[in-house]
């Protein structure tokens, strides 16, 4: 029996207000994490937020008008995907998952993860957990027949080094958190062109998420990171997906106030602009990438 992830009391952000923007039917939140104290943390992990459960997240979904989600294995649990798989069991066909493994993962384990609802592997080069960039090619080859993709979180300085490797892959690649371009450089940073070249191959996607991670101007408008977001929207609308990054573990680690999820969704809607473009970012694109039904 799956462990119970439905009884937590995470101090979920966004207060009790709804977002002004109401997403289209079937809207997908392409980046969340879930946590339960019954799952042992990886000894090497540094981000260890409190419990953030499926019940807690359903409150966020209801407030924001979201329907489906992608649960991403956090660095907290390393390569132990037990929490993730239990969450997918509870969320059913309204969720899919992104796992973390290392190079020693067997084909049998990959198939087990696939049957549990996993559709991609995360390489977290910022908070080291699981496979390293030396495993990109070998794991990419092994997951190709499963129809999975590789999701990468990296610092801006790492993109020039790993872009040639990513270009060798036959599977799609997803760039976490808009590429985490530092401020105030933003799109003037040399890695902007590297990332844009990757996306222009047609195999690479970008998550409109984590606006607060690199911002110096801060909440509620995150104007500096907004410039990066608008650049992605102008150049690659058909390759973008939206994610809340709930429950914002990197922000929670600082001990400061958590980002307001309702404000973040409204902000993305303002950046994207039209309702048809938001439908593409929240429904059409993630359905193509993650295999959800339209």
Instruction: Note the pLDDT tens digit of each residue in 162-182.
Output: 999 999 999 999 999 999 999
The yes-or-no verdict on residue 3 having pLDDT over 70 is no
Reported confidence tier of residue 244, pLDDT bands at 50, 70, 90: very high
Comparing 269 with 11, which gets the higher pLDDT? Answer: 269
pLDDT of residue 258: 86
The yes-or-no verdict on residue 118 having pLDDT over 90 is yes
SS3 track for 111-160: HHHHHCCEEEEEEECCCCECCCHHHHHHHHHHHHHHCCEEEEECCHHHHH
Does residue 28 sit in helix, strand or coil?
A: strand
Residue 10 lies inside a defined structural domain of this protein: no
Cα-Cα-Cα-Cα dihedral sign, residues 221, 223, 224, 226: positive
**Closest by CA position to 226, among listed 260, 187, 197, 195:** 187
pLDDT above 70 covers a percentage of the chain that reads 94
Residue 13 lies inside a defined structural domain of this protein: no
Contact call for residues 275 and 41 (beta carbons, < 8 A): no
Q: Supply the pTM of this predicted model.
A: 0.93
Starting at the edge strand found earlier in the chain, the sheet holding 28-32 runs 28-32, 68-72, 95-99, 118-124, 149-153, 173-175, 204-208, 240-242
Catalytic residue of the set 4, 245, 261, 266: 245
pLDDT of residue 212: 93
Give 48-117 as a DSSP string: ----B-HHHHHHHHHHHT--EEEEE--GGGTT--HHHHHHHHHHGGGEEEEE---TT--HHHHHHHHHTT
**pLDDT tens per residue across span 33-72:** 999 999 999 998 888 888 999 999 999 999 999 999 999 9
Residue 277 lies inside a defined structural domain of this protein: yes
Query: Domain total for the chain?
Result: 1
Reported confidence tier of residue 7, pLDDT bands at 50, 70, 90: very low
- In sequence order, the β-bridge partners of residue 120 are 98, 149
Q: Quick one: which H or E segment has residue 192?
A: helix 190-199
Q: Which domain holds residue 265?
A: 28-290
**Closest by CA position to 274, among listed 240, 233, 235:** 233
Tell me whether residue 245 is one of the annotated catalytic residues.
yes
pLDDT of residue 163: 97
Which CATH number characterizes residue 122's domain?
3.20.20.140
**pLDDT tens per residue across span 260-293:** 999 999 999 999 999 999 999 999 999 999 999 8
Residue 4 lies inside a defined structural domain of this protein: no
Comparing 3 with 96, which gets the higher pLDDT? Answer: 96
């Amino acid at each position: 029996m799956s462990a119970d992830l439905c009884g937590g009391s995470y101090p979920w952000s966004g207060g009790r207000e709804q977002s002004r923007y109401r997403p289209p039917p079937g809207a997908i939140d392409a980046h969340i994490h879930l946590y339960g104290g019954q799952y042992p943390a990886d000894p090497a992990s540094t981000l260890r937020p409190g419990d953030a459960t499926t019940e807690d997240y359903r409150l966020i979904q209801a407030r924001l008008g979201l329907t489906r989600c992608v649960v991403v294995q956090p660095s907290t649990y390393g390569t132990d995907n037990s929490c993730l798989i239990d969450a997918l069991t509870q969320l059913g066909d309204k969720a899919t998952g992104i796992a973390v493994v290392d190079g020693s993962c067997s084909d049998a384990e990959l198939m087990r993860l696939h049957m549990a609802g996993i559709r991609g592997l995360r390489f977290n080069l910022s908070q080291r957990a699981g496979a390293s960039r030396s495993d990109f090619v070998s794991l990419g080859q092994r997951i190709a027949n499963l129809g999975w993709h590789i999701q990468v979180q990296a610092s801006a300085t790492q993109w020039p080094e790993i872009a040639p490797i990513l270009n060798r892959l036959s599977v799609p690649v997803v760039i976490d958190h808009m590429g985490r371009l530092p401020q105030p450089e933003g799109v003037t940073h040399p890695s902007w062109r590297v990332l844009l070249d990757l996306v222009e191959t047609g195999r690479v996607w970008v998550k409109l998420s984590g606006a607060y991670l690199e911002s110096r101007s801060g909440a509620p408008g995150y104007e500096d990171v907004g410039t990066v977001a608008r650049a992605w929207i102008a150049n690659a609308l058909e390759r973008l997906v939206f994610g809340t990054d709930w429950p914002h573990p990197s922000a929670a680690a600082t001990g400061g106030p958590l980002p307001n999820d309702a404000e973040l969704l409204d902000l993305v809607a303002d950046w994207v602009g039209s309702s048809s473009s938001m439908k593409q970012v929240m429904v059409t694109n993630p359905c193509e990438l993650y295999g959800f039904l339209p």
